Amino acid sequence: MKLPVYLDYNATTPLDPRVLDAMLPYLTDKFGNAASRNHVYGWEAEEAVERARRKVATVINAGTKEIVFTSGATESDNVAIKGVVEMYGRRDGADRKDHIITQVTEHKAVIDTCTYLQQQGWDVTFLPVDRTGMIDLEELSQAITDRTLLVTIMHGNNEIGTLQPIAGIGRLCKRRGVLFHTDATQSFGKVPIDVEEMGIDLLSLSAHKIYGPKGIGCLYVRRRNPRVRLAIQMHGGGHERNMRSGTLNVPGIVGLGKAAELSVESMEEESRRLTALRDRLSESIMGQLEDVTLNGHPVHRLPNTVNLSFAYVEGESLMMEMNDVAVSSGSACTSASLEPSFVLRALGVSDDLAHGSIRFSLGRLTTTEEVDHTTGRVVSAVRRLREMSPLYEMAKEGVDLSKVDWHAGTG
Ligand SMILES: *Cc1c(COP(=O)(O)O)cnc(C)c1O
């Protein structure tokens, strides 16, 4: 067993050796520019790009001309949201289209893009989520007006794993004539996605979350019913049907194609295996420790993700106590800051509990041995920290901590 145990697959994944093998020729001998039309170097690069395009498109039931390669999901989210707003938005007149709907637990790539647009004068609705991280379809329906031009709601959440009711959102958007974008970076390759069945108009994904290389992803852009057009965000040579100029990252694209193909091949089996390991981890921890709660939806959740709150302990101390396990804490997500996770806050988790939360995200290389090692480390670390916690002692003596006047006697 390699230490530290890596249980942070939602942050990034290792490159699958089969993906590296597929990429290598395009980093060495086959180095051509896919836009070179006059020689075999260009042709073989272009052919490789088109093969990869077909592989990615197949996974989501899209056409090859609907795939636009980008540098990753952050770029895809930006291109989709700003591209739609600049193409279709109108901020004055009786037929104004100036309204975007998103929700509070989106990835920062979506939240910050929407906040930026809000600062530019566009009207943005951030829908709330319930305790499990789900939006309410009825609430979404009521939020849509004649002025709404885009709904952007993620598929699988990166911190808690909750899967939004994408097909329901898609149907609603179709019926109301509103474009629908989804950030599917965490769900792509882990759960089935069908852009036709789910009524998706735009979809973002990234290779490095599915055992592909970093710095490559794509945006699905619907071509029929309706044909979605995007205002150009990157001007230049007109690559990718003029939606994203810049010399194509051929090895990256080949890697994304291979990673997508491998993910779909193993999806069913991998999903079953990871769900079992994920549940083994949480059930074993919760069986040995009290005051542990699950964050996220108990059922509609990514197969590899489990986010737990440990009352009376502090996430950073917990991570230090179990330093041979690589996980994410509920306060480290915006890295440098020690703000509690905005996602957990949005669920109504208290700041104290959010600080004592850990995200375990499992993946292709995770073994039962690693899960059991992690369980042991978590249980002993939490016990040790609680033994040192005056709060825990008070709670065990029956003191209602929510009623304690912490300032009494300080004069
Ligand atoms: C990782 C992630 C992103 C960012 O992807 P990059 O390719 O690293 O830009 C966006 N959205 C979600 C949900 C993610 O998990």
Q: Provide CB contacts within 8 A for 205, sequence distance 6+.
A: 56, 73, 76, 184, 185, 188, 217, 218, 220
**Nearest CA among 150, 152, 144, 66 for reference residue 109:** 152
Amino acid at 95: D
pLDDT attached to residue 330: 75
Collect the ranges in the chain with pLDDT lower than 50. Answer: 333-334, 410-411
Q: CB of 158 closer than 6 A to ligand 1?
A: yes
Q: CB of 190 closer than 6 A to ligand 1?
A: no
Q: CB of 307 closer than 6 A to ligand 1?
A: no
Which ranges in 39-149 belong to alpha helices (H)? 40-59, 73-88, 108-119, 137-143
Catalytic residues: 333
Measured from the Cα of 77, ligand 1's closest atom is 10
Q: What is the pLDDT of residues 260-277, one digit of tens each?
A: 999 999 999 999 999 999
Q: CB of 70 closer than 6 A to ligand 1?
A: no
Q: Provide CB contacts within 8 A for 317, sequence distance 6+.
A: 385
pTM of the model: 0.95
Whole-number Å distance, alpha carbon 145 to ligand 1 midpoint, is: 29
pLDDT attached to residue 402: 77
Give residue limits of the domains in the chain. Answer: 5-9+267-398, 17-262
- Atom 14 of ligand 1 has which residue's CA nearest to it? 185
Q: What is the pLDDT of residues 314-365, one digit of tens each?
A: 888 898 899 999 999 876 544 556 788 999 999 999 988 999 999 999 999 9
Whole-number Å distance, alpha carbon 63 to ligand 1 midpoint, is: 23
Whole-number Å distance, alpha carbon 9 to ligand 1 midpoint, is: 12
CA distances from 176 to 146, 196, 200 (A): 9, 17, 14
Measured from the Cα of 154, ligand 1's closest atom is 13
Measured from the Cα of 74, ligand 1's closest atom is 9
- Atom 3 of ligand 1 has which residue's CA nearest to it? 73
Q: Provide CB contacts within 8 A for 156, sequence distance 6+.
A: 162, 163, 164, 184, 186, 187, 190, 191, 302, 305
Whole-number Å distance, alpha carbon 205 to ligand 1 midpoint, is: 7
Whole-number Å distance, alpha carbon 204 to ligand 1 midpoint, is: 9
Q: Which fold does the domain 5-9+267-398 belong to in CATH?
A: Aspartate Aminotransferase, domain 1 (3.90.1150)
Same-fold call for 5-9+267-398 versus 17-262:
no
In the CATH scheme, what is the code of domain 17-262?
Answer: 3.40.640.10
Q: CB of 219 closer than 6 A to ligand 1?
A: no
pLDDT attached to residue 333: 46
Six-digit token pair at 167? 């097909």
Measured from the Cα of 158, ligand 1's closest atom is 15
Q: Provide CB contacts within 8 A for 37, sequence distance 6+.
A: none
Q: Best mutation site among 112, 186, 305 for ligand 1, i.e. most ligand atoms within 8 A of its Cβ?
A: 186
Q: What is the pLDDT of residues 139-162, one digit of tens each?
A: 999 999 999 999 999 999 999 999
Whole-number Å distance, alpha carbon 159 to ligand 1 midpoint, is: 11
pLDDT attached to residue 409: 56
